[in-house]
Amino acid sequence: MSAEIIISDASGIRIDKYLSERTDLSRTRIQQLCDCGKVEAGGKPVRSSYKISENEEILIDIPDDEVPDVLPEDIPLDILYEDSDIIVINKPKGMVVHPAPGVTSGTLVNALLFHCRDLSGINGVLRPGIVHRIDKDTTGCIVACKNDFAHTAVSRQLENKTCHREYLALVTGKIVHDEGVVDAPIGRDQRDRQRMAVTEKNSRPARTHFKVIERFRDATLVECTLETGRTHQIRVHMKFINHPVVGDPRYGSKCPYMDTQGQVLHAFRLTLVHPRTQQTMSFEAPLPKYFSDLLDIYRERI
């Protein structure tokens, strides 16, 4: 259980709207807390439609999330590399990396728990072994760690930017420049808490390097390298420069030529220093069939 106290700096605004703009909680979540009597203003529980007054003390009582049982599941894995310290997976489209509220099975963690005898416990029971993540509909390389020693070492590489992650993305429109860097901070979208956006408010620095690989009549294949690892970073940055990822349901639009089941984005290469041997290792995940088929369609339209 945690509590947050906010002294309001406005008046006449619904409390659910006000709090959703000033906390990490969604408006829906705040409404649920109001329904349970967990939001107080002036010392009394209030409804989500309550209009706040300036300098009013607002108390939000946030219950701890229930931790679901995460069970091993016999889900096939496309393993690119494995030893006693790390395992590198070619994650398929549609697979969530770790359990979350409402998603407790079918995740990469469920599959790893079945395949591996041990996983690092640093990230807790919901994310054992997970050092970084990629979105549900993004495919490609992801590394997991089997012990805390490896987890600490790989995490440090991510922090120090010595672990390199390279992606292939098909984006809308023709990018004129052969290469470039998008250096723009990313934070929660103030109008839609389910989205991220380039913003100066409550944001963190984010840098994405891109290089044009191939141009089509109405799209561009680019290679993107992450210097930072913000949520939805490539998707947000490509939208920011007016070239959203093809098929992206959140930041772009559906692909006009085939059902891509989400963004056309593939983590094709991962380079890191092995935590125990100190050898630099590079892993590549082959392009998914849907991605290569779509490229053929675009090539026919040149």
* Active site annotation includes 135: yes
Which one, of 99, 135, 166, 132, lies nearest residue 248 by Cα?
135
Q: Are residues 71 and 199 in the same domain?
A: no
Predicted pLDDT of residue 178? 98
Q: How far apart (Å, rounded) are the C-alpha atoms in residues 290 and 134?
A: 18
**Full residue range of the structural domain in which residue 8 is found:** 2-62
- Residue corresponding to tokens 């309550």: 50
Tell me what percent of the residues of the chain surpass a pLDDT of 90.
Answer: 76
Predicted pLDDT of residue 68? 61
Q: Are residues 276 and 203 in the same domain?
A: yes
CB 138 within 8 A of CB 250: no
Q: Are residues 78 and 102 in the same domain?
A: yes
Give the mean pLDDT of 40-62: 92
Strands 207-215 and 179-183: antiparallel
Q: How far apart (Å, rounded) are the C-alpha atoms in residues 94 and 211?
A: 26
| Residue from 135, 137, 148, 178 carrying the catalytic annotation | 135
CB 148 within 8 A of CB 276: no
Predicted pLDDT of residue 130? 95
CB 270 within 8 A of CB 143: yes
Q: Are residues 262 and 174 in the same domain?
A: yes
For the chain, what is the domain count? 3
Per-residue burial over 154-193, b if 16 or more Cβ lie within 10 Å, else e, is: bbebbeeeebbbbbbbbbbeebeeeeeebebbbbbbeeeb
Residue type (1 letter), 7: I
pLDDT band at 237 (very low <50, low <70, confident <90, very high): very high
- Residue corresponding to tokens 């959140």: 250
Q: Which of 24-38, 43-57, 162-176, 179-193 has the lowest mean pLDDT?
A: 24-38
CATH code assigned at 190: 3.30.2350.10
Q: How far apart (Å, rounded) are the C-alpha atoms in residues 91 and 132?
A: 13
**35 pLDDT above the threshold of 90:** no
Q: Is 274 exposed, middle or buried (0-12, 13-18, 19+ CB in 10 A)?
A: middle
Q: Are residues 179 and 298 in the same domain?
A: yes
CATH code assigned at 53: 3.10.290.10
Query: Average model confidence (pLDDT) for the chain?
Result: 93
Does this model's pTM top 0.85? My answer is no
CB 220 within 8 A of CB 212: yes
Q: Are residues 126 and 142 in the same domain?
A: yes
Polymer length of the chain: 302
Q: Are residues 184 and 257 in the same domain?
A: yes
